[in-house]
Amino acid sequence: MTSRPNASPQRAWDTGRQSREQRLTAAGRYARGKLVAPDDATSLLEAVIRPGDRICLEGDNQKQADFLARCLAAVDPNTVRDLHIVQSGLVLAEHLDLFEAGIARRLDFSYSGPQGAALARALNAGKIELGAIHTYLELFSRYFVDLTPHVALTVARCADRDGNLYMGPNTEDSPVVIEATAFKQGIVIAQVNELVDKVPRVDVPGDRVDFVVVAPETFYVEPLFTRDPAQITETQILTGMLAIRGIYEEYGVRRLNHGIGFNTAAIELLLPTYAERLGLKGRIATHFALNPHPTLIPAIETGWVQQVHSFGSEVGMDAYMRARPDIFFTGRDGSMASNRMYCQAAGLYATDLFIGSTLQIDLQGNSSTVTRDRIAGFGGAPNMGSDPHGRRHASEAWLKAGREAAGEQQQLPRGRKLVVQIVETFGDKLVPTFVEQLDSVQLAETLHLDLPPVMIYGDDVTHIVTEEGIANLLLCRTAYEREQAIRGVAGYTPVGRARDHRVVEDLRARKVIRRPEDLGIDPLDTHRSLLAAHSVKELMHWSGNLYDPPSKFRNW
């Protein structure tokens, strides 16, 4: 009998399983079945985590395994050290404490939000070795390739003694993180609010969960997508009207995603009023890949919105979503189910338009939320704000954008996704939004990054909307035209003042640039009375008092 060439009879093929068994044995002293007392949680982590492990600590952009985060930050750095953190959201102070203490060393993430300034300081101080700032889909995909967690620390509303988890509306990242970890012999530990005899719905089967800790307090959920209508300015109302008239109506956009911000909140509140007057109901904005924004309530109640699939939930919206199963994806228990990976894929492939804000835009239309002093990450914007070349189904909006992009050169029909950046020419503290060069380019040089952290590349951007008007970049035929179109809507910023006035007027004549008056909009008419709701309290009333606003938004 001949042996196989190059066969290695000494190789073990189950090293991952052996490591898992060793970790479970070490943790056994702290568990009764799958249950671990809160006081033993830190010791449990010290028992199952090895130096250099890849750890996913949820860490989503809304729900947080905050108790487990505090426990991980309290481990002995001599025992648990040099961890590689692979999580979508780095948003709690404890997440950064891991690096300050030497517990963690390397980081791959997507979004940092409130920790953006602190993250920038830590990176500049050399406290963190940065792998990459990912999009959500990109990071989730790498969980199944080369960033598979050794240990996943997840969070759920409740669990039973078999470890079955109920996430409720905030399922978010959990299924993808847990599946990647559990099926590669990793350890899954869940923080839950309570232990029950039977979970209302099984969002994660118990055979994928190794340990359950009932936390002393309910886990934190950030009301990330709540915008108070009282804070919406007349300038944001104007840009919202421009987007509706010059893009939504123009292309017949029905399937879309809105980013986070007051500009898109204004659009949502203008649908039942301004867009209604234009006769657009049923013709635009019917299907959303979107978290349950409270500012969407009036559009839902007036019959504009037909369906919403969500990345996550939003604080205070549970009862409202439960009462609107025709709109939201709800389980047999009545609560909404969210899934960030599913919804990111829907936003990438099933929508015709993404519209969102940014902090900086350069002369090519590249945009970034990474500045000199703040690294906010990207979240899912680069996924939804990109043209998916794999798409093969047609729609009116997609085909029209494709025709405009190709011009007379189109030989084979091909569509194009609408990617819109809606901004004001000056941001906070009158810092110009439009710049000659993104701060992220210099940051990449300082931190020796292989890629500047650009959120949405300019060649994916189709339109830029400011209070000055709309620049339709699809109609630009040269790089110089594109630059002048951007300068033409950049207002009184240094970038805007450097425009070539003759070229800009030629672009306006070709409808590459369209001013408010070109669309029949008088800026003097853009007052707050156009909004369907003027306060959070009015949103609550629109919902039939089903919406229960977070305390931070209650001023009555």
What is the SS3 string spanning 215-230? CCCCCEECCCCCCCHH
Q: What is the spatial distance between Cα 192 and Cα 214, in angstroms, rounded to a whole number? A: 5
Are 465 and 238 contacting, i.e. CB atoms less than 8 angstroms apart?
A: no
Is residue 205 in some structural domain?
Answer: yes
- Residue 548 domain-assigned? no
Looking at 156, 188, 219, the residue that finishes a domain is 219
pLDDT interval class at 447 (50, 70, 90): confident
Q: Which domain holds residue 501?
A: 229-540
Report pLDDT for 1.
54
Residues 287 and 165 in one domain: no
pLDDT of 8 above 70 = no
Residue 477 lies in a domain: yes
Helix axes 340-349, 174-182, angle to 10 degrees: 110
Confidence at residue 4, expressed as pLDDT on a 0 to 100 scale: 65
> Which residues is 255 bridged to in the sheet?
287
Is the per-residue pLDDT at 2 higher than 60? Answer: no
Q: Which residues contact 133 (CB under 8 A, 6 or more apart)?
A: 109, 110, 370, 375, 377, 378, 453
Q: What is the mean pLDDT of the chain?
A: 95
Residue-level pLDDT at 10: 85
Is 68:95 a contact under the CB 8 Å cutoff?
no
Parallel, antiparallel or unpaired: strands 63-64 and 220-221: antiparallel
Gyration radius of the chain over CA positions: 25
Q: Which helix (H) or strand (E) holds 246?
A: none
Give the model confidence (pLDDT) of 197-245 as tens digits: 999 999 999 999 999 999 999 999 999 999 999 999 999 999 999 999 9
CB 110 within 8 A of CB 139: yes
Higher pLDDT, 124 or 330: 330
143 and 258 fall within a common domain? no
Which residues does residue 367 pair with via DSSP β-bridges, in sequence order? Answer: 361, 456
Same domain, 325 and 289: yes
Closest CA to 335 of 93, 170, 103: 170
Burial classification of residue 381, based on how many CB atoms lie within 10 Å of its CB (0-12 exposed, 13-18 middle, 19 or more buried) = buried
Q: Do 290 and 214 share a structural domain?
A: no
Which amino acid, 26?
A: A
The distance of Cα 154 from the centroid of its chain, to the nearest Å, equals 18
Condensed to tens digits (0 to 9), the pLDDT of residues 240-268 reads 999 999 999 999 999 999 998 999 999 99
Residues 304, 192 share a domain = no
| Cα–Cα dist 317/328, whole Å | 11
| Residue 156 counted as domain residue | yes
Task: Please check whether residue 132 lies inside any domain of the structure.
Answer: yes
pTM: 0.95
Shared domain for 88 and 120, answered yes or no, is: yes
E strand spans, 366-522: 367-368, 418-422, 463-466, 469-472, 513-514
Residue 4 counted as domain residue: no
- Distance CA(142)–CA(181), nearest Å, equals 12
Considering the domain architecture, whether residues 324 and 393 belong to the same structural domain is answered as yes
**Nearest in space to 99 (alpha carbons), one of 114, 117, 121:** 121
Please give the distance of CA 271 from its chain centroid, rounded to a whole number: 23
Mode of pairing for the β-strands spanning 35-36 and 31-32: antiparallel
pLDDT digits (tens, 9 = 90+) for 261-301: 999 999 999 999 999 999 999 999 999 999 999 999 999 99
How does residue 555 score in pLDDT terms, banded at 50, 70 and 90?
A: confident
In a domain, 11, yes or no: no
**How many Å separate Cα 83 from the centre of its chain?**
25
Residues 269 and 298: their CA atoms lie apart, in Å, by 7
State the CATH number of the domain containing residue 238.
3.40.1080.10
Q: In sequence order, which residues have a C-beta less than 8 Å from that of residue 279 and are 6 or more positions away?
A: none
Looking at the structure, tell me whether residues 402 and 499 fall in a common domain: yes
Choose one of 185, 201, 219: the last residue of a domain.
Answer: 219
Q: Are residues 76 and 199 in the same domain?
A: yes
Domain count, the chain: 2
Whether residue 512 is found in the same domain as residue 471: yes
- With respect to residue 35, please indicate whether it lies within any of the assigned structural domains: yes
241 and 202 both lie in a single domain? no
Within this chain, do residues 49 and 161 fall inside the same structural domain, yes or no?
yes
